[in-house]
Structure 1
C-alpha cells in the first residue's frame, strides 16, 4: 500500500527562551497547521507517533492532547537527532502496512541554551549511550574541553582534510550556502547572509569548525499527516498529496568502528547504506533527485553526506560544494530551507521539518526559495548512537 504526505506544518525555529511557550504550545501550532493544510480534522487521525529527546515520558500525549482528546494511540519516540524522521517512518509503516489510513507524525523540542553535551560532561563518557563512539575519537584525537559533538565532527573534518585535501574554505562554503538559503525562509532561526571569509572569521568552536558552521540549539515543532491512497481518493486530496516513494533506516555496523576514524563513527556508513537501500527499492537514484534536505549538523556532515548519497566520489565533496553544484543553478539544491546550520535544530522536530520543506518544494509552494521544476526530493536525517533515515518523496 502506498503512503502519501498530505499536510505539513511547523513553527518558526527559535533560539531557546525566545518565547514564553511550552512544548505543547509548539505542537498545537505545528499540528494545527498540518491538519489545516490537508483540510482534515484531528478526529480522522488514527495513530500519533511523537518524537522528542529532552522531555519526560508521555510528553507526546501531553502535546498531542492539544489537538484533541480522541483516545487514539500515541507513541513516544526518541532516536537522538534522527528522532523526527523515526516518528515519520513509524507513520509511514502504519499506513503502508494497512494498520491505519491516517497517521499524524509530530516532533518537537524545547531546549536549553548552549552546546549539547553529547551524552557526556566532557570528562567521563563511560556510561554514555555513545561511549563507544567517543571512545574511538578519544583513542585517535584525545578528548578536549570543547563541546563533545563539535569535537567528534571537527575531528572528522580534520581527517577528511588530511586524507583528501579538503580545505577550510570548502567547509565554510557549506555554511555560507546554507545561511544564504535561509534568508528566504520565514521559519528559519537565522536569516543573515555571510561570506565564506566571514564564516572563517567567526569564533572557533573546535577547529576547523567555526560557530557559523555549527547548528544551534533551537525550540520548535513540526508535523506531517501521512495517509493511504484510498484516504487521498476519499477526501479528494490529489492536489495536496506527495508520495513517500521509499524510506530506509540503518544503524551502526562494524564498519562504523573498524577503522578507528571519526569519519565513519559520525555516520557516513549508515547514511550510505540507507541511501543504497532506498535506491534499490525504488529504482530511483540520486540522478533523479532535484532537491535535498540533509543533516548538516556541522558543515563537515554535509560534505560526508554528499559522498554517502552518491552525489560525488569519496573525497570530492569539498570541490562539489565549491563548484556551485548544490545550490540554485547547480545540479541539486541542497538545504533550500537553510538546513540545520541556519534553519535551526530542535532535535525531535528536525526530520519532520525536512520533509515539510520538501513537500512545499514538490508542490511548488516554497515561495522565493522554490527550486524550479522540483519533482523528486530526498531527506536525510542522522543521529549518533546511531540511526540514519533516508526518505525519497515524489510529486504526484
Structure 2
C-alpha cells in the first residue's frame, strides 16, 4: 500500500488501436509507437525521461529495450516486468514509486503484447509451471477438463461458485458482455465495436460453466504507455497537471487463495479486496465516491465478483447492481467505459496501461462519446493470476 508522499502526476498517455492476432505490427514497433504517443501527449522530450518500466508476458528478455530503443538511445535504465495480466500496471506501480520516492523526476511505463490466436498457454514444458499450485487447488475443488481453456475454468468456476451461493441467473453474466459491447462501440481503439444482444451472447458456444464465448476476452495485440512525473518537474516544463495518482496498492496471494474452498478467492477476490481497502484508506475516499472504474473483466464472471471485491456493491447484490444498470451510464458508477478487456481487448502487458489511459482521458474530459460527466475519482483494477493485483486511484487535481 502506498499513501502518496510526493505528488505524482500522469502527464501523458498513449494507446494504439487494439487488433486481433496477425493484424498488428511486431511488438517493438507497437511499443515504440505507444511510447511516442504518450510523450507527445505529455509534451515531454524523451531526453527528460530518466527510467523506463516495461510490461509484457509473451516475449524474450530485454524485449522492453527493443521497444524503448525505437524511441531513443539515451542509456537510461530499462526494467522488464512479467506479472501475467497485471504486467502493465506493475510497470506503472514501479514508475510511480520511483517518482514518488524522489529517485527520478520523470519516468515512462510501457506495456505491449504480440499474441497468437487461441487460449493462453505456458511457454515451457520442461519445468514446473508457476500456476501449478493454482491448478492443483482448482482441480481439487472442481476437477479439470483438458479440452476447456484453463483460464476459463478458473473464472468460470468462480462464476459457478457465485451462482451456487447466491442463486443468480446465468444470463446475469451475459448482461455484462452486452454492456461491454455497448461501451466499446464508442471507442475507436477497441477491437470489438459491434454491439450484441443478450440472446446473442447466451447463444454463443459454451466455454466453461456459465461462460459462453462472448463472455471471454479475446487474444489481442496492442500497446499503451504513460508518462509520470513529479509536480516540480511538471511545473518547470509547463505540463498538464490535471491528473494525480492519489493512492496505489499492489497485493499478492495469501493462504485464503488456496485453502478457502472458494473459486472466487482462487482467482483473486481477496487480493482485490485487500488492495482496494488499502487504496481507499490511503486516499480518504470510499467506493461511494467513485465516478468511473476500469476493472479486470477478462471474463464476465470476474467483472461481477470484482464489483463486490471493490466494494461497488455489497456482497451478494451484484445481480441487482447489473439489472438496475448501476454499472453503466446513468447508474451509480460507470464501469469499463472503454469496453473493458471483453471488448476493447486484452493484450496482456498493455492492459493495465490502456486502463490508465482511459481513466486519464475521463478525468481530463477527453473521452468523447464515452465521457462520464463530471468525473473526479477514477479507480483502476488490474489482476494477474499467479498472482498480483494492482489497484490505483486517480483524481482530478
For the superposition of Structure 1 and Structure 2, which TM-score range results when normalised by the shorter chain?
Answer: over 0.9
Contact 1:118 1:149 in 2 (8 A): no
Are 2:39 and 1:35 aligned? yes
Alignment of 1:284-363 (within 5 A): 284-363=285-364
Establish whether residue 379 from structure 1 lines up as the match of residue 380 from structure 2.
yes
The within-5 A match list for 1:185-334 is 185-237=187-239, 239-334=240-335
Aligned to 1:10: 15
**For residues 181 and 120 of structure 1, what CA distance do their matches in structure 2 show?**
37
Q: Distance in 1 between matches of 2:128 and 2:141?
A: 20
Distance 1:116 1:98 in 2: 38
**Structure 1: how far apart are the matches of 2:267 and 2:29?**
33
| 4+ residue segments displaced more than 3 Å | 118-121
Q: Is the 8 A contact 1:118 1:148 kept in 2?
A: no
Corresponding residue for 1:183? 185
Unpaired runs of at least 5, structure 2? 1-5
CA distance in 2, matches of 1:395, 1:367: 17
Q: Secondary structure of 2:391's partner?
A: strand
Deviations 1:56-90 (A, max 9, x none): 00010011000000000000000000100000000
Q: Aligned runs of 1:78-157 on 2, under 5 Å? A: 78-117=82-121, 127-144=128-145, 145-157=147-159
Residue 119 (structure 1) shift: 7.5
Pair 1:57–1:103, CA change in 2 (3 A): same
- Measured in 1, the distance between the counterparts of 2:7 and 2:151 equals 37
- Give a deviation string over 1:234-268, Cα, whole Å, max 9, x none: 1122x453100000000000111121221110000
CA deviation map 1:262-314 (0-9, x unaligned): 11100000000000000111111111110000000000110111101111121
In structure 1, the residue matched to 2:77 is 73
Aligned residues: 391
- C-alpha distance in 2 between matches for 1:235 and 1:318: 48
Q: What's the TM-score, normalizing by structure 1?
A: 0.97
CA distance in 2, matches of 1:75, 1:173: 39
Give the superposed CA RMSD: 1.3
How far, CA to CA, are the matches of 2:306 and 2:124 in structure 1? 25
What residue number does 1:48 align with?
52
Match of 1:367 in 2: 368
TM-score, structure 2 normalization = 0.96
- Following TM superposition, by how much is the alpha carbon of 1:117 offset from its aligned partner in structure 2, in angstroms? 2.5
Partners of 2:98 and 2:344 in 1: CA distance? 29
